[in-house]
Structure 1
Amino acid sequence: MDDDNFGSFTQSETDDDSNYDGCDTSEEDIDTDDTGETDDESVDESDDVNPNSDSSEEGDWVQVLANEAGPPTVRYTGHCGPIHPPQPDALPIEYLKLFITDSFVQKIVDETNLYASQWIQSHTEYLQQKKRSIVNLWIKQGQTFVNEILAFLGVILNMGLIKKPTLRSYWDCTNPSQATPWFSKHYNRERFELLLKFLHFADNSKIPPPDHPAYKLYKIQPVIDHFQRTFKSHYYPERKISIDESIIGFRGKTPHLRQYMPNKHHARFGIKVWCLCEARSGYTYGFEVYRGTAGMQVSDNGATYDLVMRLLEKADLFHRGHHLGLDNYFSSPKLFEDLWQNGTTATGTVRTNRKGLPMDAVKKKLKNKEVSERRKGPLLCVAYKDGKKTPVLLSTSSKGGYKIVKRTGKPDKIVPQIVDDYNHVMGGVDLKDTKLYSYLAERKTLKWTNKAAFSLIGTAVLNSYLLYVANTSRSHPLDRYKFMVSLVESLVQNYEPVKIIRKRRTLEQIQAVSLSPDPVGSPSHVALSADDGHKIVKLPVGKKRNCIAGHPKRVRSAIFAQNVMEEFALNALLFFTIK
Structure 2
Amino acid sequence: MAAAFDSDWDSDEDDNIENIFNENSDSEPDFEGFGPEDIVRNGAVIAHIDMDDFSPENDDEDNSDKAEGWTKSSGPPLCAPFTGESKLNVNMENQEPIDFFQLFLNDDFLNIVVQQTNLYADRKKNQGRQGNHSRISKWKPVSLEEIKVFFGLVIAMGLVHKSDIDTYWATEDVIFTPFFGDKMSKDRFQNILSNLHLCDNDTFIPPGQPGYDPLHKIRPMIQQTLNAFIDVYSPAENLSFDEATCPWKGRLRFKVYNPAKPCKFGIKLYQVCEADSGYCVGYDVYVGKNNRATSVYCEELGLDEELSETTKTVIGLLARCGCLDKGHRVYLDNYYNSPELFDELEHMNTYACGTLRTNRKGVPVAIKRKNRKLLQGQCIFRQKDNLLVIKFHDKRDVHMLSNFHEPQVAVLNKTDPKTNTPITKPTCVVDYIKHMGGVDLSDQLNNYNSILRKTKKWWRKLFFHLVNVCIVNAYQLYKKFSPDVKKKSHFDFRLSTVRSLVEAGGVAARPAKRGRKVLGELPARLVGQHLPEYVPATPGAKRARPLRECKACNVKKKDRERTKRKQTSFQCNTCQVALCVPDCFKAFHTYVNYRQVLLPAANEDSD
TM range (shorter): 0.7 to 0.9
Aligned to 2:271: 275
> Which of the residues 360, 363, 377 maps onto 1:357?
363
Q: Which aligned pairs between 1:247-396 and structure 2 lie closer than 5 A?
A: 247-254=245-252, 256-265=253-262, 267-293=263-289, 299-363=305-369, 364-387=372-395, 389-396=396-403
- Report how far residue 59 of structure 1 moved: 4.6
1:136-164 deviations in Å (ceiling 9; x for gaps): 221xxx11011111111111111111111
Match of 1:196 in 2: 193
Letter in structure 1 aligned against 2:213 = Y
Partner SS, residue 267 of structure 2? strand
Q: Aligned partners of 2:286 and 2:355: how far apart in 1?
A: 22
| Alpha-carbon spacing, 1:55–1:178, altered in 2? closer, same or farther (3 Å) | farther
Q: Deviations over 1:371-405 (max 9, x none)?
A: 11000100000011222x32211001111121012
Aligned pairs for 1:554-569 within 5 A: none
Alignment partner of 1:427 is 2:437:
yes
Equivalent residue letter for 1:187: M
Distance 1:291 1:319 in 2: 28
Q: Quick one: distance in 2 between partners of 1:185 and 1:288?
A: 39
Number of residue pairs the alignment of both structures matches: 448
Structure 1 residue runs of 5 or longer lacking an equivalent are 1-13, 18-53, 512-579
**Match 1:76 to one of 55, 69, 82:** 82
Matching residue's letter, 1:156: V
Q: Is the 8 A contact 1:402 1:414 kept in 2?
A: yes
Q: Against the structure 1 CA distance between its residues 272 and 132, is the aligned structure 2 distance closer, same or farther, given a 3 Å change threshold?
A: same
Shift in Å, 1:440: 1.3
Task: Give per-residue Cα distances to partners, 1:205-227, cap 9 Å, x unaligned.
Answer: 11111124543100000100111
CA RMSD of superposed structures (Å): 2.6
Q: How far 1:196 moved relative to its partner?
A: 1.2
2:313 maps to a residue whose letter is L
Q: What residue in structure 2 maps to residue 131 of structure 1?
A: 132
Distance 2:286 2:246 in 1: 11
Deviations 1:313-343 (A, max 9, x none): 1112111111000101100001101111111
- Is 1:182 matched up with 2:179? yes
Residue from 142, 145, 160 that aligns with 2:143: 145
CA distance in 1 between counterparts of 2:374 and 2:95 reads 57
Q: 1:234 aligns with which of 200, 221, 232?
A: 232
User: Deviation of residue 367 (structure 1)?
Assistant: 2.2
- 1:399 — aligned with what? 406
What is the rounded CA distance, in whole Å, between the counterparts of 2:451 and 2:228 in structure 1? 22
- Give CA-to-partner distance per residue, 1:234-289, whole Å, 9 cap, x none: 110000001111010011133x1211111111x11111111110000000111111
Are 1:499 and 2:494 matched, yes or no? no
SS in 1 for 2:397: coil
Deviation for aligned residue 1:497: 4.3
TM-score by length of 1: 0.73
Aligned twin of 2:37: none
Residue 281 of structure 1 aligns to which amino acid in structure 2?
A: S
User: Is 1:58–1:356's contact at 8 Å kept on the other side of the alignment?
Assistant: no
**SS in structure 2 opposite 1:280?**
coil
TM-score when scaled to structure 2?
0.70
Bigger mean CA deviation after superposition, 238-247 or 162-171: 162-171
Code of the residue aligned with 2:342 in structure 1: it is F
Q: Offset at 1:178? A: 2.3
Q: State the match for 2:97 in structure 1.
A: 92
Larger Rg: 2
Report the Cα distance in structure 2 between the residues aligned to 1:295 and 1:309, rounded to whole angstroms: 13
Give 2:122's aligned amino acid: S
Offset of 1:229 from its aligned partner? 0.4
The CA deviation at 1:365 is 2.8
Letter in 1 for 2:138: L
Q: Do structure 1's residue 121 and structure 2's residue 126 form an aligned pair?
A: yes
* Residue 471 of structure 1 pairs with residue 481 of structure 2: yes
Q: Which amino acid aligns with 1:120?
A: K
Please say if residues 362 and 392 of structure 1, whose CA atoms lie closer than 8 Å, have aligned partners that are also in contact. no
Say if 1:106 and 1:345 are closer, same or farther in 2 by CA, change over 3 A.
Answer: same
Any stretches of 5+ residues in structure 2 without a counterpart?
1-41, 46-61, 299-304, 527-607
Shift of 1:69: 3.9
Asked if the contact 1:83/1:236 (under 8 Å) is kept, the reply is: yes
1:325 and 1:360 map into 2 onto residues whose CA distance is 24
Give the CA deviation at 1:500: 4.0
Partner of 1:220: 218
CA contact (8 A) 1:237 1:285 kept: yes
Q: 1:458 to 1:408 in 2, by over 3 A?
A: farther
Instruction: Give the conservation status (yes or no) of the 8 Å contact 2:269–2:284.
Output: yes
For the 8 Å contact 1:241–1:279, the answer to whether it is kept is yes
Contact 2:95–2:483 (CA under 8 A) maintained in structure 1: no
Distance change in 2, residues 1:295/1:73 (3 Å): closer
Contact kept, 8 Å, 2:44 with 2:413, in 1: the verdict is no
Identity %: 31
Distance 1:204 1:16, change over 3 A: farther
Aligned partners of 2:118 and 2:92: how far apart in 1?
Answer: 32
Instruction: Name the SS of the counterpart of 2:174 in structure 1.
Output: helix
User: In 1, distance between residues paired with 2:491 and 2:266?
Assistant: 27
Question: In the alignment, is the contact (CA less than 8 A) between 2:183 and 2:511 conserved in 1?
Answer: no
Residues 1:74 and 1:502: Cα distance change in structure 2 (over 3 Å): same
8 Å CA contact 2:199–2:220 kept in 1: the answer is yes
**Cα 1:56–1:288 shift into 2, 3 Å:** farther
| Separation of aligned partners in 1, 2:147 and 2:416 | 51
The match for 2:472 is 462
Assess if the C-alpha contact under 8 Å between 2:44 and 2:412 holds in 1: no
The corresponding residue for 2:33 is: none
The 1:250–1:379 alpha-carbon spacing in structure 2 relative to 1, beyond 3 Å, is same
Aligned mates of 1:202, 1:341 — CA distance in 2: 40
Q: 2:88–2:233: 8 Å Cα contact kept in structure 1?
A: yes
Task: Indicate how the Cα distance of structure 1 residues 459 and 408 shifts in structure 2: closer, same or farther if over 3 A, else same.
Answer: farther
What is the alpha-carbon distance in structure 1 between the residues aligned to residue 191 and residue 227 of structure 2?
A: 30
Name the CA distance, whole Å, in 2 between partners of 1:501 and 1:55: 86
Report the counterpart of residue 208 of structure 1 in structure 2. 205
**Counterpart Cα distance in 1 of 2:477 and 2:342:** 31
